[in-house]
Homo-oligomer: A and B are copies of this chain.
Amino acid sequence: MVGGGEGAFIGAVHRRALRLDGTCTLVCGAFSSDPSAAREFGANLGVDAARAYGSWQEMLEIEASLPDSERMEAVSVVTPNHLHLPIATAALHAGFHVVSDKPATISLSEARELATAVEKSGRCYVLTHTYLGYPMVREARRLVQEGVLGRVRKVYVEYTQGWLVDRLEKENKQAAWRVDPARSGPSGCMGDIGSHAHNITEFITGARMETVRAWLQCVVEGRALDDDGAVFFKMSNGATGVLTASQICAGEENFLAIRVYGEKAGLIWNQEEPNTLMIKYADGQQKRVRAGVNMPLGATALDVSRTPSGHPEGYLGAFSTLYTDFAKMVRNNMHASPGPDEIGYTPGIDAALRGMAFIEAVVDSSNADGEWRDVVNVR
């Protein structure tokens, strides 16, 4: 693991996620950019002292020199965004598989560079768009694919938070790098959470967001990046939609919600109550689909379920699913995700490319006072 030391949020989430299913083990790490802090933090985590490295360069060098049976198999990159590319490419180059936090890089050109590195290396790459790990998100995708909604026409997707309602960045490490263009990339809110909304929309509908008209705002005075935004979009399947993302919605927690409407029915899911999926039919019937290993769900949802219905699973379970998918890919030498189709279940390099293309198109459109912009089709 690279990053995730003192004061980080997502590092501890990754560590719990990789442990839950027992499919991955944390064997070494460079947990901070400060070498002594990195070593101390690693030791506190219970990592073998010799493998609590002072820097990621040191980690890659030494681990690469270990015999196969002893060295780490993969690197988990949980640093601020601007370091994703150098660390991931170096790791791939050194022969390690990579799990990376999102967004994949800080630009589309960087993402293309990363894609080349993945391809050349022949190693596995997974991007932790956590929400694709939820059973009901996979079930939603299946229901759309099986035609339960009919032809999809309309999507509303939103991701609202309230934690940046004030200038938290002055005191909070998490906030500080997220609103700093040098470390976060060209977009704040839209890159951090709008990208999840984009990703889940393409995943569930199985279609691409092709064209966007965006309106990014910096609501809190003095902030260097957008903390709020809205996007009109057109999709490759003819559907249209509205995406909103905001981090200044006072009191909101982590409200990622999607509604997809077709000719025959609509489906509704939100991440704060992730074990329920509503389907509303045009004729007035409504079904409440519930998660659980014992429930009448498709195989793609059941495969990533751990408990019977009524024993709620949550965010850490979804995250863990991505690590377990990753472990399966590594063990089975699958360079693409284990899903059966084009987009796949586990977000990988395609999701990385598409995400960065989306962010750039949105920023570009907003800078052009909301002109429509195409999202580069990276495939």
Q: Which of B251, B264, B312, B313 contacts A281 (CB 8 A)?
A: B251
Q: Which of B219, B232, B286, B308 contacts A154 (CB 8 A)?
A: B219
A6-19 vs B, Cβ < 8 Å mask (1 yes, 0 no): 00010011011001
Residues of B within 8 Å of A75, CB to CB, are: none
Q: Are A154 and B228 in contact, CB atoms less than 8 angstroms apart?
A: yes
A246 to B228, CA, bound (A): 23
Instruction: Tell whether A249 is near chain B: CB-to-CB under 8 Å.
Output: yes
A163 to B307, CA, bound (A): 14
Within 8 A of B (CB), among A187-243: 213, 215, 217, 219, 228, 230, 232, 240, 242
Q: Which of B22, B213, B316 contacts A316 (CB 8 A)?
A: B316
Instruction: Tell whether A55 is near chain B: CB-to-CB under 8 Å.
Output: no
Q: Report, as a range, how many residues of chain A touch the other chain.
A: 35 or more
A213 to B230, CA, bound (A): 12
Of residues A215, A251, A307, which shows the largest number of chain B Cβ atoms within 10 Å of its Cβ? A251
CB distance from A277 to the nearest CB of B (A): 10
CB distance from A344 to the nearest CB of B (A): 24
What are 11 residue pairs bridging A and B, where the CB atoms are less than 8 Å apart in the complex? Answer: A16-B21, A163-B294, A163-B308, A215-B240, A249-B266, A250-B263, A251-B284, A286-B290, A307-B314, A311-B315, A313-B315
